[in-house]
Amino acid sequence: MQKFLVVLKKEFWELLPPFIFFAFVFHVMMLVESLMAKASGFSNSATTSALIAAILVSKSILVVDALPILKFKAGEKLIYPLTWRVFFYIIIVVIFQFIEKLIPLFSESNSFSNAVTLLFAKIEWDHFWAVHIVLFLFLVIYTMVNAVIDILGAKKFLAIFFSLDRNI
């Protein structure tokens, strides 16, 4: 039981930073979609959906981070693993968003192919691209900050950004 709690605590602390980041990102995306639809406010279901998506995407990102192709190697240019990470992250997020939009349509149409057809008919492509450009930019920021933290270490990173002592 003690070993289980240690593993659970480790998983929780690994999941917390990406969860906080993606909860923020998905709420920003929800706000952008709301503004484009000329609606106001957040609904409870949309907020819940954003939080569930943040949990799923955060855990998926931790799984993707474990892939050997995405590991940083000393002396290697960072652009290559960072590019791969952003590519994998955007694919994961788009898949989860696709599934999120597909589930209610599947209950309406009772067929997967009909639900997909209905989904593509309902997509407003200008909104889709606007939201995904914002998402892409957030993913680039997340990936770069994560790489800097991997290189410097979390304590030094926090000290650089939040310490009054500039001689770090």
pTM of the model: 0.75
Does residue 167 fall inside a structural domain? no
Q: Stretch 76-94: mean pLDDT, rounded?
A: 83
- Asked if the structure places residue 61 within a domain, the reply is yes
In a domain, 168, yes or no: no
What residues make up the domain containing 48? 2-162
Higher-pLDDT residue of 137 and 125 is 137
* Confidence (pLDDT) at 90: 86
What percentage of the chain exceeds 70 in pLDDT? 89
Total count of domains within the chain: 1
Cβ–Cβ < 8 Å for 138, 54: no
Q: Indicate if the pLDDT at residue 166 is higher than 70.
A: no
Write down the pLDDT at residue 109.
Answer: 81
Q: Is residue 76 situated within a structural domain?
A: yes
Report yes or no on 38 lying in a domain: yes
Mean pLDDT of 49-58: 80
Note whether residue 26 is domain-resident. Answer: yes
77 vs 142, higher pLDDT: 142
Spacing of C-alpha 92 from chain mean position: 8
**Half-sphere exposure (Cβ direction) of 86: Cα atoms closer than 13 Å:** 19
